[in-house]
A and B are shown apart, each in its own frame.
Chain A
Amino acid sequence: MILHERDLLAEIPPLRRYARALTGDPNRADDLVQDTLERALGKWRLWRPGNLRGWLMTMMHNQFVNDVRRPSPIEYRDEDTLPESSVRDTLANGLALRDLDRALDALPPDQREVLLLVGLEDLSYQEVAAITGTPVGTVMSRLSRARTRLRAALDGDEMQASHLKRVK
């Protein structure tokens, strides 16, 4: 089965979004996406028509796991030359992006992945289980721990100050 360039192109925006939240850094995110695409193209013979997004997310998971095991390389980047990010600095609810980045960074990588695949990528628990190669039960316990930790980390931040709607 042939992987079409246009199909791959269509998947790049969500891959970048997920990678940006996962790594907390625009350059590392695009490095991760690039490595993922190259990994996918290297394994295109294993591709079966169906869920391309899930297949690529699985590749990205594997790449990410490899990357976090390896000590990260020293990066020399000139702050002045970094590209403008379209990500807003302050979110609608007053929570600063850097606070969110920092709180996510403080999560263990496996919990961060699950939280983002569920909360940002809107994938089902079964899909997340398939991508991360873990049982659904493990997905649920990681999700639970991630939400508890993140709430604790963000306590005291602006999020707390935002008005809380009462669930009826």
Chain B
Amino acid sequence: MARVLVGVKRVIDYAVKIRVKPDKSGVVTDGVKHSMNPFDEIAVEEAVRLKEQKIANEIIAVSCGPQQSQDVLRTALAMGADKAIHVEVAGAEYETLQPIHVSKILAKIAQNEKVDLVIVGKQAIDDDCNQTAQMTAGFLDWPQATYASKIEKKDDHIVVKREIDGGLETIKCKIPAVISADLRLNEPRYATLPNIMKAKKKPLTKITPKDLGVDVSPRIQIVKVEEPPVRQAGSIIPDVDTLVTKLKEKGHA
């Protein structure tokens, strides 16, 4: 029976229209609806399924971020995680928090909690970094199975189907290991009301990176954040001849 750690990040909900701050220092987050990173939801779901198959016996959800990160931890608990750890990083520190910091934090907690599997989403939809799983594996010196679309436990190892360019790759790796969840791994369940109620009684502990001995001082400086260029309006032309002329003018024909 394995102990599983899942990383969950609080991000702006994907159905919300993103607005850039007027001073170009970042995007507007105040009063904007946040949710769990969709790939992390898949990671939580997979952990819960492992528990349902009696492969896992305990699921620990971890989130690094401000106080509100506890919301996504509660969701993870309602989905089926057993306990949650909130690593509080707030304010300016959070704005420059990068996968390298998070990986160090996750690796440290993985060691402290003696987990056998770390499952995280393949990337967060806000910064699109796609680095946390790989670096966590690096810090722990564990094997990594990234972009998983199927996970099976066989004896003392796991068999993971990975989504790669042009097909699927099946790999076998030893446990302990780090897995990153791809889109087709599963369809996450909704947190039902009875489970949301139960989740309120599950333990949630708050720590700081300092407690873990992880330095989260910034390694980057955000120069500017800009919106993508606005698409130019099209025009309707009367016939094919005009189209050909226009294309020639623009050097396309």
Q: Do A and B bind?
A: no
Which residues of B pack against A, CB within 8 Å? none
